[in-house]
Structure 1
Amino acid sequence: MKKITIAIDGLSSCGKSTMAKDLARTIGYTYIDTGAMYRAVTLYALRNGLFNADGSIKADELRACMGDIDISFKFNHSTGRPDTYLNGELVEGDIRTMEVSAHVSPIATLPFVRHALVASQQAMGRGGGVVMDGRDIGTTVFPHAELKVFVTASAEVRAKRRYDELCAKGMEANYADILKNVEERDYIDSHREVSPLRKADDALELDNSYMTIEQQKEWLMQKYEEAARD
């Protein structure tokens, strides 16, 4: 089969990253978590006081710092998945906190942040053989990807998944707060000026609200095999 580019977009907390990681490992492709990249920039901004007291971003200061932000991925042999590094520091756990989740969408709306990370993502994925997930992979980063998938699930289902994930990690979690965050992120992501979240015209839609992990894997493998044979 030929090496193709696989773009998986969708709503927050719909399981697209887990789906993309598993597929990449199964078929021997490189996985790139674009959401982790935006979370890493958000973590950098939080750590360096680049948010005002009202939650707004010190955009000019962040723009000046973009050249100092290096995001990379290293394969973790114990988990079988790549971990996210910010300026050489392992931050995989730090970028998954509710604090980062609550601030990432405003960061992702900034044009200079998106332009910088999209260019990096395109460089990482040049040549095919990659699975990339995010909000605008099939529409902006790789509009000519051979396989595009748009993943959806109800806000309530996604909030419950996020709640269970945080609880399993021993982290503090409140379902009502998570649901509110999910709904707010949906609105911000779909209404931002640059690369808003939307389903590409040629993307396959997958509503996984009531699907098992195995059912998702089976569906995605079938679509991959069909695309790689064409």
Structure 2
Amino acid sequence: MTEIIKFDHVTKRYGDKIVIDNLNFSIKTGEFITILGTSGSGKTTTLKMINRLIEPSSGAVIFDGSQIDQLDEITLRRRIGYVVQQIGLFPHQIVEENIAIVPKLLNWDKKTIKARVSELLSLIKLPYDQYAKRYPNELSGGQQQRVGVARALAADPSVTLFDEPFGAIDAITRSELQEELLTIHKTYPNKTFVFITHDIYEAFKLGTRVMIMDEGKIAQFDTPEAILKKPANDFVKRLLDTAKNQESLWG
């Protein structure tokens, strides 16, 4: 697998406060990376530096072989899907129009756009003939989030970023969406997903590798199995112990 994202000695400061402290890591094409951490650990800042919503104070972020500060911001972002917790569907546009936004900006022809929208609606289990002409307010929260995922994938990006997309959704729907996202990733094995969560179960269920962050640094970055088998430090061990204690409530 080729390297699609690399952080090379990346630091982010706000005044005297260091938010990201000398990050070094790489992500290969086709990986599903989950970034796990408490509030303020730096996970969202790390994610937003990939699509230049936040610029590093020093160091380099490299995307598909190019240093991203040498790339046009708009062109870069059209190559990267982005899903957020707030979804952000346009309320005055029907589902089909919401999904088609980036393909239209890229001047895809109408027939190709319709075929892509239909393909993605099928993939997220919202059939075209039933859902394409609905407005966002006619959908449940889980259905809106599915459309948000489809919109992020519409222009066939090589990388898709997910910023706690299921955080505001009920537990049953969240579990269903996790399964669907795993299916989508298997359907497109060359696509790279980077997914932020503060839920340890979600991180370990979805990630081919899990990056655990603490105070702007990487505490451990490995497969779920390797982390469970050998926590790298006391912080990771406490995180795992907390999850085990919660699990014990259910016997």
Q: Above 0.5 in TM-score?
A: no
TM-score (norm 1): 0.34
Greater share of residues in strand = 2
TM-score (norm 2): 0.32
Greater share of residues in helix = 1
